[in-house]
Every structure is written in C-alpha cells, then in structure tokens.
Amino acid sequence: MKYDPKNGFEKITISNRLDDVIKKSISKAKRDKKIRTIKLRLIKINAAIASLIIIFISSVNFVPAFAESLNDVPVISSIANAVQFHYDKNINSAVNQNLSQDISKIQKDKNISITIDNVITDDKDIFILYTLNGTMADEDIKNLLLEKFSINDNNGKTLLSSNDFRSQILPPKLNNKNEDSLSLSNTNYKCIISSLGNSIKNYSQNKKTFGSIELISIKDMKIPDEINLMVSGITEAYNMSYSKEAYSNFTSKFNREPKNISGNWNFEIKLDKNLKSQKPEEYNNIPFSINNTDFTLKSVKIYPTHTEIRIQLGKNSINKSQCNSIGRIIGGDNSKLPYLTDEKGNKYSISGNALVSMDSENCVNLSFESPYFNKINKLYLVINQLNYSNGESYVNINPTKIKIK
C-alpha cells in the first residue's frame, strides 16, 4: 500500500504530556546509566582497596622497615602496630580479628601517658597490651619501659607485683634476644613484661613504646573478673642479666645511668565475662611410644591464650628407667624443649615453667602458647628429648610428632 500521510495518522490526538514523558525517560536513562557506572566504579574501587589492605598487612608483617615508616601516620599507626607487634602469633590473630577486648583507657602523669589498649584473656592467663607515650619536649628521656607496678583484685589483694622474684628464665621466644623484658613470679602467678619491637631509635623518633603484660596462673588460681593495674615507676633500661647488653648499650651511648621516673598511673579493668569464660577445645587419652617408652596424652586443653597438656610418663621397657620429664633447658639451650606445631608450620613454644616435676601419678603438666585464634586444622606435639631418673639422664631423639588433632 502506498504510503499516504493522510491515511488516518493525522487524526491521532497527541498528548500534551508527550514532551514531558520523553524528557523524563531520557533523564531516567541517563541517571540509570550513571548509577550503573558508579556501581561499577565502586566495585572496582572496593576490589582495589581490598587488594591494598592485603598488600599492606603483608608488608607490615614481613617488612618491619615498612611498618616503622608508618608510625607517624595517625590513622594507620594503630593498624600497623596491631598486626605486627606481638611475639605470640595467636595474640596477633586475636587483635587482627577484633576478638580482643578493647579497653582504651589513658592515664597521664609526669608528661608520660600510659594507655591500656586491649586485653585477651581466659580463666588462667591474661595479656594486657599497652602503649607508653612521652612528649616530644622530653628530649632527655631516651626510652620508656614499665618498671614498678602491681596487679590487684577488686578487693585490693595483690596478685603479683614488680617486687616479686625476678627470674632469669624468659619464654623461649624472648630468651637470648636483645629485648627489654622482665620475668616475675610468686607462689600463685607468673608474669612476663615485654617491650615489643622497642628500640631507643624507635622511641627517639616517636616517643612511643608498645608492650604487653602476661599474667599466668601457675596453680588453680583463676584470673579475677576485675583487676586493678597500678603503675608507680618507669625506667629507661632494665639492669638485669638477660638485658645486660641493652643496659650496656644505653650507658655507653649516653654516658649515664638510666633514669627512673616515679608517678601514678592506675587502671581499673573489668574483663568481659563472655570472652573470659570461653570453653577450651579438648582432646583426651592419646597414647604414643618413643624410645621404648609408652606415654599417654591424658588431656590437651586449648584455651584462648594458652594450651595445657597433661602427659603420663612411662618406663623404658628395656632398662626399666622411669621417664620423669620431657625436655629441659641445659646451659640456656631451648632447642630440646617440646613445642606445638600446626599444618601451617606455626610453632607454639612452651610458656610455663619448663622444669616441671613429675607428680604422684607419673604425670607432668606443661603449658604452651595457644593456636586458638589461628583457625588451624591440625596440631602436633613435638618432642626432642626425654629425661630419665636413672641410667642415661638426657636422651636426645630426632624430633618426633604426636598428632593431637
């Protein structure tokens, strides 16, 4: 049919709103396109940010110089220090996963601020993570270390203080290192104070030191639900045998004795009962045999901050010698101590007293660092040495793995 503009189309009434409808449709199309474009850009930006975070965390963990360079950046500084600053990888994992208790309490005296940052705890062990800050005006102060303090319960009873016995034995990961650490103990508790990643150079640049207080119950005493940390003294360097090198470096560098600063920095810390009462992951009655001697892992309890293992010791079936311990420190050598390891190759060192005695049931109780927050699938006890009551006292063996899970 021949097209004729008068074939009836001219009779169709065109709405007066058509122009408005067309304009709105065009605007909506443009707006929808912009939204899709924005969404695509946001997805790309988020992916880039995620990649940068992964690269950032990896850089902080594996390139200490990179982490140190971030100390002057206010927002990034706390992240950088959180992911790299503790010698115990399990504690690192708790902080990274926001599974620690945020305290963020600050006390200031004598131009020195102490901040209690985070706490990770269970019934028998607690890590108190802190920051010591000086002021840039105090150029005379070359370093800050926690020196005099006490930890009390809410009734005022002292659990442990800096006046208690100062041991020469540090956890294996801190022993023989030029770091500023203290090991304290009394009848019921043991305490490790560590200035982590600290150096005089770092402090002179940032006027800041990071550290931790680990309080460990060595009997059946439980960590109270409320504790008071009362700090009364700060020092520039410890004068202890295992910190002798750091002390000597300080005196030779500055040609003077380290200064001690008295003050009052007091903290009331209420522990999160839900976090504190988490039940351990438990494994029982695992038999194994080494060097013609039968053993049983009577119990393995993996708590958030420590792992308790009770081992029943047997007799050598050939010479009838009673095994009375597993690994000892000999001449400062930690290489023969037992440890835990997982499928990722992480090592969890012994954290309690390595020189424990066998009890009346022929058992020893050992305490190790915990893999609780590391999301592991397999865990092994590694034994390097057996000790017997008669005959050959120390029997070194090839590292032997006992599967726990």
The residue written with tokens 């309690």 in the block is 352
Write down the pLDDT at residue 70.
46
User: Of 184, 190, 177, whose CA–CA distance to 244 is shortest?
Assistant: 177
Write down the pLDDT at residue 139.
76
Q: Given a cut of 90, is residue 405 above it in pLDDT?
A: yes
Which is more confidently placed, 390 or 127? 127
Q: Given a cut of 90, is residue 255 above it in pLDDT?
A: yes
Q: Which amino acid is at 313?
A: L
Q: Global pTM?
A: 0.74
Report the Cα–Cα distance between both ends of the chain, in Å, rounded: 86
Average pLDDT over residues 298-319: 93
Write out pLDDT tens, residues 114-159.
999 989 998 888 999 999 998 867 778 888 889 999 999 999 999 9
Q: Which amino acid is at 355?
A: L
237 DSSP 8-state letter: S
- % of the chain surpassing 70 pLDDT: 70
Left if phi > 0, otherwise alpha if psi is -120 to 50, otherwise beta: which for 76?
Answer: alpha
Angstrom distance (rounded) from CA 342 to CA 377: 8
Write out pLDDT tens, residues 329-376.
665 567 788 999 999 999 998 875 556 678 899 999 998 989 999 889
User: pLDDT confidence of 78, banded at 50, 70, 90?
Assistant: very low
